[in-house]
């Protein structure tokens, strides 16, 4: 069996096809969730390749870490990362911060793998360490988020991180993926730590509800980031985990780095949820009282949202078997100096400008990020001037700029000009295109401007002294304009120049991108070039799997990790690739596991997913319908369940299996079916199921039955592919109409049993 992933196809009857036309599907790695989607379904990607996990592909989302100077990660404080107490480098500390939630939470529940944002083509291959912009409160590395701070230190630190990543890039294309800040601790305005805040994640606030809104379509410009306290304070290996200067003690060990997982969920569009088991509970939870944080559950709607959000993250890749597909969005940000004029308003202070190319929809987004929020009484105006061909001799002349009312500028060559006026927090925009034929005002069907509010929500340690609310807090506004790229003709690797201008009507202060650089700033949009790895097969625990690697540093020492555990050391070939024998420890639990192959002493990694077959053949298939999860325990020696499909039309459960043992080694599937999922009844009496193996009716034994489940033993041939279990009903509330809805709302999870997941109450 040459598949690192499982195979899945949703039921799609002729009735559904005739009613729904083409049916879009998306691709989680472990969960396949089709809630009643509220966003544009064109974002959903279906894999065409055979042998993918459940018929769908993994999403690889880059994380661009920065450690703030003074934090334990920046200081290389030893022993922060179990099970590897010798990890004392900034690179190892930080990349494990996204490895743990990937392996424990996002890979098994949502089909998302977070990876290092370090690019193969760069000369510097380590995560940046950045300065603490204000050391007057707390200790070095602390960030002031107290009342009245306007989060200026947090925004300044974010901009410093973005600038550091841009400096890493030889081409100046800058950061990719989700920006992540590792700080020491968060303080209030007096330098105290009594807020017990563990992290912040950003989102776009819905102006009607005040809550975070999911990204509505792939053409939306993604701009999420997170900031988290250093995990030195969150792990048992630290002798004194008290927050400095206070009596508050962090009571839980965050061994799965739920802090990072929660804030990443926020950055991908999730709102808070009060369920104590939910990952998005705003306060860390310990549901089984073992002093270890364990709130990791995602429901179907949440998986739909984060899959949608991941699809539009710049630098995101899709991983079908043995190939990598680049993402549809590419972006670059230029940072501007902030707070230059202490007398000016924060909402007329440009913090940064981000340009995003949506390749699939051929649209360009221009985001002018401000330092603060525009008040209702504010009356600012914002200009964006774009020299699309990077040619100063073409485009608008000074006279034209003056006639349009643009504040004094020496910018030359503008081919496109956008003006956005904000009055009573409502935006009115105009746009003009310049060519050799003169000036033409654009109609609003080729561009759209939005007035966005970016907010952050805190994630708290459990404490009786939480003084802040858990709702999203507005931080700054963004003026975002989306334009049909047929007008701009901006392409990958083609330079263009942008000037951004902000002013308040009646004010003399004008802020420009680059300030003294009145000629604008050069942008180049380029896809990142990441290393990759490709497991060549599923693998039984206790054996090795061959993994192809590519794009790492040539002739370099490398190490490999399964989840967070080191299992391999080796060396790349002369071009930074090769095929390695990657050992899987015998005690490894079944299911999908993160594989990371990294170059020693760098943050350059290749990341992929291996499907491990447990030694005892035990696993749990979890079928998710909306927010209801059906746990289906099973045991299959010398094989594994690749897919479970619910067919309401035939009232059956269809199971795809694959042999991983020796030829001619027949086996047995033992499976416990919840009655609420599928049952066979005549009135109040139990009836026998009908079972077919590869289309042939098969004998079976009902080993046990209770009021809640029925356990079957089914003999299967070594080369069996499909088992169909037919009852009299599946998911009992389904009727004729519900059967049609199923194709859009059914979700399936297949997760092998492991301690951390089985201990999670659903």
pLDDT at 675: 92
Which of 36-40, 466-470, 475-479 has the least mean pLDDT?
36-40
| Position 84 pLDDT exceeds 60 | no
Which of 207-216, 577-586, 631-640 has the least mean pLDDT?
207-216
pLDDT at 47: 31
How far is the C-alpha of 452 from the C-alpha of 155, rounded, in Å? 17
Kindly indicate the confidence band of residue 760, based on its pLDDT and cuts at 50, 70 and 90.
Answer: very low
Q: Nearest to residue 86, comparing CAs of 229, 237, 236, 235?
A: 237
How far is the C-alpha of 267 from the C-alpha of 223, rounded, in Å? 8
Which of 24-38, 56-70, 306-320, 623-637 has the least mean pLDDT?
24-38
Q: What pLDDT digit, counting tens, does each position of 503-521 carry?
A: 998 777 789 998 666 788 9
pLDDT at 550: 95
- Residue 741: count of CB within 10 angstroms of its CB: 15
Average pLDDT over residues 306-319: 89
Is-contact 629 642, C-beta < 8 A? no
Burial class of residue 191 (count of CB atoms within 10 Å of its CB; 0-12, 13-18, 19+): middle
Which residue has tokens 């604008």? 520
What are the E-state strand segments in 12-165? Answer: 31-32, 58-68, 112-116, 129-130, 143-144
How far is the C-alpha of 310 from the C-alpha of 109, rounded, in Å? 14
Q: What pLDDT digit, counting tens, does each position of 18-41 carry?
A: 222 332 233 332 233 333 223 232
How far is the C-alpha of 238 from the C-alpha of 258, rounded, in Å? 18
SS3 of 682, please?
A: strand
233 vs 474: which has the higher pLDDT: 474
Is-contact 508 405, C-beta < 8 A? no
Average pLDDT over residues 539-543: 87
Which of 76-85, 187-196, 383-392, 494-503 has the least mean pLDDT?
76-85
pLDDT at 242: 58
Sequence length of the chain is 762
Q: Nearest to residue 46, comparing CAs of 77, 8, 78, 81?
A: 8
What pTM was computed for the model? 0.82
Which of 88-97, 358-367, 662-671 has the least mean pLDDT?
662-671
- Measured in whole angstroms, the distance separating CA 307 from the mean position of its chain's CA atoms is 7
* Percentage with pLDDT > 90 across the chain: 44
Kindly indicate the confidence band of residue 751, based on its pLDDT and cuts at 50, 70 and 90.
Answer: very low
pLDDT at 172: 61
pLDDT at 470: 60
Average pLDDT over residues 622-628: 61
Q: What pLDDT digit, counting tens, does each position of 660-679 carry?
A: 655 566 788 999 999 988 99
What's the mean per-residue pLDDT of the chain? Answer: 80
Structural domains of the chain, with CATH: 59-325 (3.40.390), 532-613 (2.60.40.1930), 618-758 (no CATH)
Q: Nearest to residue 220, comparing CAs of 430, 363, 381, 68?
A: 363
360 vs 747: which has the higher pLDDT: 360
Q: What pLDDT digit, counting tens, does each position of 400-421 carry?
A: 888 888 887 888 899 999 999 9
How far is the C-alpha of 121 from the C-alpha of 552, rounded, in Å? 10
pLDDT at 560: 94
pLDDT at 237: 57
b/e per residue, 103-139, with b = 16+ CB within 10 A? bbbbbbbbbbbbbbbbbbebebbbbbbbbbbbeebbe
- CB-side neighbour CA atoms (13 Å) of 404: 30
| Position 742 pLDDT exceeds 90 | no
How far is the C-alpha of 513 from the C-alpha of 666, rounded, in Å? 69
């Amino acid at each position: 069996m040459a598949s690192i992933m499982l195979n899945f196809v949703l039921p799609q009857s002729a009735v559904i096809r005739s009613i729904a036309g083409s049916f879009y599907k998306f691709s989680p790695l472990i969960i396949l969730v089709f809630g009643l989607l509220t966003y544009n379904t064109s974002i959903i990607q279906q894999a065409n390749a055979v042998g993918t996990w459940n018929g769908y592909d993994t999403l690889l989302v880059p994380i661009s870490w920065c450690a703030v100077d003074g934090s334990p990660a920046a200081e290389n404080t030893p022993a922060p990362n179990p099970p590897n107490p010798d990890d004392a480098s900034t690179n190892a500390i930080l990349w494990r911060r996204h490895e743990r939630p990937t392996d424990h939470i996002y890979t098994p529940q949502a089909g998302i793998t977070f990876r290092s944002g370090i690019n193969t083509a760069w000369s510097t291959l380590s995560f940046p360490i950045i300065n603490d912009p204000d050391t007057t409160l707390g200790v070095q590395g602390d960030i002031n988020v107290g009342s009245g701070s306007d989060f200026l230190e947090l925004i300044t630190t974010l901009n410093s991180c973005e600038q550091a990543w841009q400096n890493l890039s030889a081409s100046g294309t800058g950061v990719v993926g989700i920006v992540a800040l590792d700080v020491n601790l968060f303080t209030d305005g007096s330098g105290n730590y009594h807020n017990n805040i563990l992290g912040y994640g950003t989102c776009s606030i819905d102006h009607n509800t005040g809550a975070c809104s999911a990204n509505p379509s792939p053409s939306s410009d993604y701009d999420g980031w997170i900031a988290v306290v250093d995990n030195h304070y969150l792990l048992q290996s630290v002798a004194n985990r008290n927050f400095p200067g206070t009596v508050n003690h962090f009571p839980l060990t965050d061994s799965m780095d739920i802090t990072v997982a929660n804030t990443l969920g926020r950055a991908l569009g999730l709102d808070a949820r009060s369920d104590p088991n939910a990952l998005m509970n705003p306060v860390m939870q310990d549901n089984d009282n073992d002093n270890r944080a364990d709130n990791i559950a995602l429901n179907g709607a949440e998986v739909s949202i984060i899959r949608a959000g991941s699809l539009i993250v710049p630098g995101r890749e899709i991983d079908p078997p043995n190939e990598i597909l680049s993402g549809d969005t590419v972006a670059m940000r230029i940072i501007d100096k902030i707070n230059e004029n202490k007398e000016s308003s924060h909402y007329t202070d440009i913090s940064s400008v981000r340009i995003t190319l949506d390749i699939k929809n051929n649209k360009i987004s221009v985001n002018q990020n401000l330092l603060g929020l525009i008040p209702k009484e504010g009356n600012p105006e914002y200009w964006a001037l774009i020299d699309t061909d990077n040619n100063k001799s073409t485009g608008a002349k000074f006279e034209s700029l003056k006639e349009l009312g643009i504040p004094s500028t020496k910018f030359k060559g503008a081919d496109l000009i956008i003006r956005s006026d904000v009055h009573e927090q409502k935006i009115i925009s105009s746009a003009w295109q310049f060519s050799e034929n003169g000036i033409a005002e654009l109609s609003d069907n080729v561009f759209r401007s939005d007035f966005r509010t970016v907010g952050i929500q805190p994630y708290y340690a459990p404490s009786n002294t939480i003084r802040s609310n858990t709702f999203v807090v507005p931080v700054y506004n963004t003026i975002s304009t989306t334009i049909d790229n047929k007008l701009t003709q901006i392409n990958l690797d083609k330079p263009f120049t942008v000037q951004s201008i902000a002013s308040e009507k009646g004010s003399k202060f004008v802020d420009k991108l680059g300030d003294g650089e009145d000629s604008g700033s050069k942008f180049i949009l380029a896809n990142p070039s990441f290393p990759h790895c490709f497991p060549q097969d599923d693998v039984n625990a206790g054996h090795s799997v061959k993994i192809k690697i590519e794009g790492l540093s040539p002739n370099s020492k490398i190490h490999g990790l399964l989840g967070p555990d080191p299992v391999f050391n080796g060396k790349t070939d002369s071009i930074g690739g090769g095929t390695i024998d990657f050992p899987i420890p015998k005690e490894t639990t079944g299911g999908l596991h993160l594989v990371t192959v990294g170059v020693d002493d760098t943050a350059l990694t290749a990341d992929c997913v291996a499907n491990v077959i447990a030694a005892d053949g035990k696993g749990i298939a979890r079928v998710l319908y909306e927010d209801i999860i059906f746990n289906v325990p099973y045991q299959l020696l010398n094989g594994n369940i690749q897919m479970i499909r619910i067919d309401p039309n035939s009232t059956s459960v269809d199971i795809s299996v694959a042999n991983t043992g020796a030829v001619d080694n027949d086996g047995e599937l033992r499976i416990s079916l919840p009655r609420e999922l599928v049952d066979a009844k005549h009135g109040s009496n139990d009836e026998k199921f009908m079972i077919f193996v590869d289309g042939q009716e098969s004998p079976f034994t009902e080993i046990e039955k209770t009021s809640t489940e029925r356990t079957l033993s089914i003999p299967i041939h070594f080369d069996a592919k499909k088992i169909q279990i037919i009852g009299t009903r599946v998911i009992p509330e389904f009727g004729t109409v519900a059967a049609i809805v199923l194709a859009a709302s059914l979700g399936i999870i297949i997760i092998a049993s492991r301690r951390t997941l089985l201990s999670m109450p659903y």
